[in-house]
Structure 1
């Protein structure tokens, strides 16, 4: 069955209809590139408009697009060096429109930049693979997380959900979600690492599952973490998805804690994503 993840449902508004969130979610290089591109395009359009009205810019070379463009830049930025100035009614009308455009544009760009700077983000790293291995004598699904920041996340909560395609009694295929109960789903102080463990007992949605069966159902394990950033006192969240191919059966997460000569423990993040076969006993 073909998946339509990330596809927009019929009748949904176009992506540009939610331009604010699209821009806020954009990486900094993309956002700055969009702002710079729009700035150049708008000034170029105003430059053509000034030229369309004839030689309406004092001290500008007749028909010079460069002079009209930089006059537009100075006007939109309310710089006003004094050498170039509007000299006709047409150019003064354009200056009025451009100043209003520049003020509104500056307000919107300021709002976007402030929203991105003030937006709380989590730097939580999830292990690239989850493992299915015995834990305390019970087969368990395990994955781990690490707080990549130097601060702490308080009142952290983690949740794991199994998503898979199932067929109803009427023969309809549906995407269903099943909560995976964790041994410990809350952490009052998440500073370094945290291993989430789901025992695969008779009541688990993964009971009796096989790698082939999960792959055939398009199964995914969605892990999400929510907590409060201790530095800014704001709620942050992080999410990671494990496809069926990301589950390592009969393997364990490699140990990453080691004890220093002075007795302190250190986390070896270089082995954070490593898994190794479960030792036969």
Structure 2
């Protein structure tokens, strides 16, 4: 694994390859998985492989992924940081619905605490509104609620998800932010400037969908690079993210132990200058 990253205003040493737990739930992140024992095995293998950062939410399932994490890993190792997110809930029809009233945010924190078996949450990301990406709305009221929860000792650190640069700046006028989690990958580069700004501030950037949104031509370029390196396209995409900036933490998800091992092995892959340039040009 590459050198751990410790965000400013925290003492957390994140190994830069983490694990995203969303795929532990059933299809469409709804209901239980087909094979709960396999989900437990993936989590336990993740810890054995040196992963110390699990990304989750109680609205995955809902409740399912957190309950599986607790079954697999509780009592938790001291160096494990579980990062969760609040600000949405799931409707009875499996829809994703904004849920950012003070009471909804408070209830979400208590749901995470109960299902994970914790008395405090190390990092909680506020998932800002907007189903297709950041909508630019003010998040000040939601952060005020999170600050109260932090003052009560239920939250240690606050992060953001699904936000633009203006929302990050608004949040930083209110409280310290340790991480930002947004859609970013080789083909979806809208946050390039934000990543550089956050790197200068010592704030972690956590991209999701590392392979989402590629055109066939872009996929071909990635596949060719992977073949030259005798690696998988996913491994090359993760390696590119890790070399893009030292504040980037990756959280690929999988329900397969073999795939998990491949993802972790991406941390040993080194892209040379020519390969980096070719991929960056995608």
Q: Give the structure with the higher percent strand.
A: 1
TM-score, normalised via structure 2 length: 0.23
Q: Give the structure with the higher percent helix.
A: 2
TM-score, normalised via structure 1 length: 0.23
